[in-house]
């Protein structure tokens, strides 16, 4: 079996009184064995709903899906024995120690740390010095490492990680992703959701999702390669005024803040000349203008605009 996850037309709706919200709108894609697959989108895009459907915590309202070859509705018990799930919020027992949390989750799956040391050794060695510390007293990075360790204490075919590095420092995020790539080499399929675009670059393939619908699926390089438009970074001493003026200019197709710059796509055949004209006319000072290669976030913004 080449695909660890197969999803076809999954629909999920939430009902509250007379209103209905569609969280997942006919979502379809596959995830291969030994692949890191990223689900990329803002809060409320549907990432958590999809993970809960695939881990059998929610029933879909339509469509079909299989995890490790098992149907998510008919064979939910078998799926729960072969997947690991790390939810977005820290969900371990904060009053239990690191050692006690690991022991508890190992007992659920009738496993032990030593039996799966090849999977969790790199992570376990980092948290072992804190074995007697309560989970609630750990740093953000150590909490996530403990949660991943608990998710892996039983050997899983598929691992679901829902925004695992939110609120974690940059060094811990880097270490976390290095661990994921080592797990990938052991043939584990890893589905990870994130709103960090730099993490999307670390995935083998990504799906961009917004309002429950998939906008695009490809490798990070493939996503960037589809942009196909000249992109410019513009900066001045009056960024808010410049943003308003650029967004109102008929030659500007799109303009949005990006760090210390505005990223701009123009309809004009000579975008550099047009942008320089706008800067001169507005009397902007301390300006910078340069062409740039698009990142995944630029592609996401473009797809949201056109889709």
Residue-wise pLDDT tens digits, 72-109: 999 999 998 888 888 876 667 788 888 888 888 777 77
Strand partners, 17: none
Evaluate whether 141 touches 169 at the Cβ level (below 8 Å).
yes
* Domain identity same for 81 and 182: yes
CATH number at residue 236: 3.30.70
pLDDT value of position 205: 97
Say whether 276 sits in a helix, a strand or coil. Answer: helix
pLDDT value of position 51: 95
Name which of 117, 209, 206 is nearest 154 in CA terms: 117
- The total number of structural domains that make up the chain: 2
Q: Could you say which of 186, 201, 220 is where a domain stops?
A: 220
CA dist 109 → 77, 78, 133 (Å): 13, 12, 23
pLDDT value of position 306: 62
In a domain, 190, yes or no: yes
Residues of the chain short of pLDDT 50, as ranges, are: none
pTM comes to 0.84
The domain in which residue 25 lies consists of 3-220
Eight-class DSSP state of 74: T
Name which of 276, 200, 199, 195 is nearest 232 in CA terms: 276
In a domain, 225, yes or no: no
pLDDT value of position 126: 79
pLDDT value of position 234: 95
* Domain identity same for 200 and 274: no
In a domain, 226, yes or no: no
Q: Could you say which of 220, 250, 272 is where a domain stops?
A: 220
Cβ-in-10-Å burial (0-12, 13-18, 19+) of 46 comes to buried
* Domain identity same for 174 and 254: no
Q: Could you say which of 220, 239, 259 is where a domain stops?
A: 220
Name which of 215, 235, 216 is nearest 292 in CA terms: 235
pLDDT value of position 115: 67
pLDDT value of position 116: 65
Evaluate whether 37 touches 205 at the Cβ level (below 8 Å).
yes
* Domain identity same for 50 and 139: yes
* Domain identity same for 64 and 171: yes
pLDDT, one tens digit per residue, over 54-77 is 999 999 999 999 999 999 999 999
Cα(34)–Cα(90) distance, integer angstroms:
26
pLDDT value of position 135: 82
pLDDT, one tens digit per residue, over 138-150 is 887 788 788 877 7
């Amino acid at each position: 079996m080449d695909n660890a996850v197969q999803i076809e037309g999954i629909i999920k709706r939430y009902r509250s009184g007379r209103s209905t919200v569609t969280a997942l709108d006919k979502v379809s894609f596959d995830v291969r064995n030994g692949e890191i697959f990223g689900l990329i989108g803002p809060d409320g895009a549907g990432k958590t709903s999809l993970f809960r459907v695939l881990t059998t915590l929610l029933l879909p309202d339509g469509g079909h899906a299989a995890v490790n070859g098992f149907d998510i509705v008919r064979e939910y018990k078998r799926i729960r024995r072969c997947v690991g799930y790390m939810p977005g919020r820290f969900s371990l027992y904060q009053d239990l120690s690191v050692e006690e949390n690991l022991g508890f989750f190992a007992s659920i799956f009738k496993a032990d740390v030593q039996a799966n040391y090849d999977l969790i050794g790199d992570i376990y060695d980092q948290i072992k010095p804190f074995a007697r510390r309560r989970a609630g007293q750990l740093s953000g990075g150590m909490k996530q490492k403990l949660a991943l360790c608990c998710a892996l204490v039983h050997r899983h075919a598929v691992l679901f990680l829902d925004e695992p590095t939110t609120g974690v420092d940059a060094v811990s995020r880097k270490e976390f992703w290095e661990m994921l790539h080592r797990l990938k080499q052991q043939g584990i399929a890893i589905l990870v959701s994130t709103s960090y675009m730099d993490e999307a670059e670390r995935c083998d393939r990504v799906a961009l999702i917004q309002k429950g619908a998939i906008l695009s699926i490809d490798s990070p390089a493939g996503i960037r390669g589809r942009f196909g438009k000249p992109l410019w970074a513009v900066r001045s001493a009056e960024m808010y005024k410049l943003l308003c003026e650029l967004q109102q200019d008929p030659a500007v197709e799109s303009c949005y803040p990006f760090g210390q710059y505005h990223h701009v796509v123009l309809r004009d055949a000579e975008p550099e000349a047009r942008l320089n004209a706008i800067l001169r006319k507005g009397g902007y000072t301390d300006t910078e203008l340069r062409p740039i290669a698009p990142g995944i976030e630029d592609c996401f913004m473009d797809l949201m605009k056109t889709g």
